[in-house]
Amino acid sequence: MSDGLRARLTARLQTASPVLFGAVATFAAFTTYFSMYAFRKPYGAATWDGVADVEIPGVGPLDYKIVLVISQVFGYTLSKFAGIKVISEMSAAKRAYALLAFIGFAHASLLLFAILPAPYNAVAMFLNGLPLGMIWGLTFGFLEGRRISEALGAGLSASYIVASGYVKGAGAWLVSQGVPDVWMPFLTGAAFWPPLLLAVWLLSALPPPSAEDEAARTRREPMDAAARTAFLKQFWPGLVPLTVLYVLLTAYRDFRDNFAAELWQALGYGSTPSVFATSENYVAFGVMLALGAMMLVKDNRTGLMLVHALMAAGTALVGLSTAMFEWGWIDGYWWMVTVGLGLYLAYVPYGCVLFDRLIAAVGVTATAGFMIYVTDASGYLGSVALMLYRDLGTPDMSWLAFFKGFSWVTTVTCTVLYLVSMAYFWNRTRSSDAR
């Protein structure tokens, strides 16, 4: 599409109502990140039961699927660490080009995955993860620092809640049609290029935050190394518990996502591929409703406290729903739904609402992408550690029993740490002028 058409759309959106602007921005961001999942997650729809375990020198045999997951997550983790610098310093003019280049590299890696024999094609999964960890920061960069950032962030976050289930469903359908497991991820990704290109073009047409946005949420600017260091030194007592608990949340979320096929099978839904998508629809709706309501709170200090309270309630819900499942009050389907709702209520704000509100509440000029990537990078290290512990430390424990046990660890530890962070920032912002 021509630059002239994009310029006309940008001019139109500058004077558009919040509803129209929000609809265009949400559609573009949602579709971009939803499409990215087609290049990252479809391989999880296969159980890879026919492939032998992989012997790792000095470690022992590892399940082939776990090798694939760890390979991709390791690349994804390195991408998050790179993103601390790349995303915080990226100019708005380069974001759209970077989005398409990174996803193009990831798709080429899936072609390599199909060509190389197992288990050596795990290297291709590592390459696949390397660029994809930066897609969230690039996408959210178009949305942050606006008066309606909560609503926009909620719409963007809904994409990854539902996308994993839908792309796995698409992958499972391709396999059912006779597509070999190794080719399924590449072909799934190929189908999502048209909506991805449209969505990225729309993102590139969004106007920057207005003067009114900056007055309400502070100005957002790239952060160099000195600015990043100063921010961490100033607020580390609150940022440390937020980062530590995010390690647990990411490991928990990734385990539930990567081994959803095994969990659903253990719960008796192994022959129902649609369960991947339908169960997450309820979760996405609940999370979007809760986060969208945050937009109604104008005072940034109050908003920051409410976000903390919402996240703590989410981790508490993980424990409550697990207890209800063990007592027989709810079945396996509704347990996965309610655990997912609690998990994402605690997890999603990190990528959209939490740091956007935090920056506004403390009144500094910064970018939310910096802290999003600090916590993300730490979180995915925890995900790798959890999978290694599951396969090597508790090899005889079932997927379901392990997940239930980790649910209890997550609910107790994370709820306490949320309350610690909430108390710190309540006191830290007491003397600040809430914006």
* pLDDT tens-digit readout, 377-398: 777 777 777 777 776 677 778 8
Q: What is the pTM of this model?
A: 0.72
Tens digits of per-residue pLDDT, 32-48? 999 999 999 888 777 67
Domains and CATH numbers, the chain: 10-428 (1.20.1250.20)
Question: Is the pLDDT assigned to residue 340 strictly greater than 80?
Answer: yes
Using left for φ > 0, alpha for ψ between -120 and 50, and beta otherwise, residue 251 falls in alpha
Least confident of 136-140, 168-172, 292-296, 413-417: 292-296
> How confident is the model at residue 332, as a pLDDT?
87
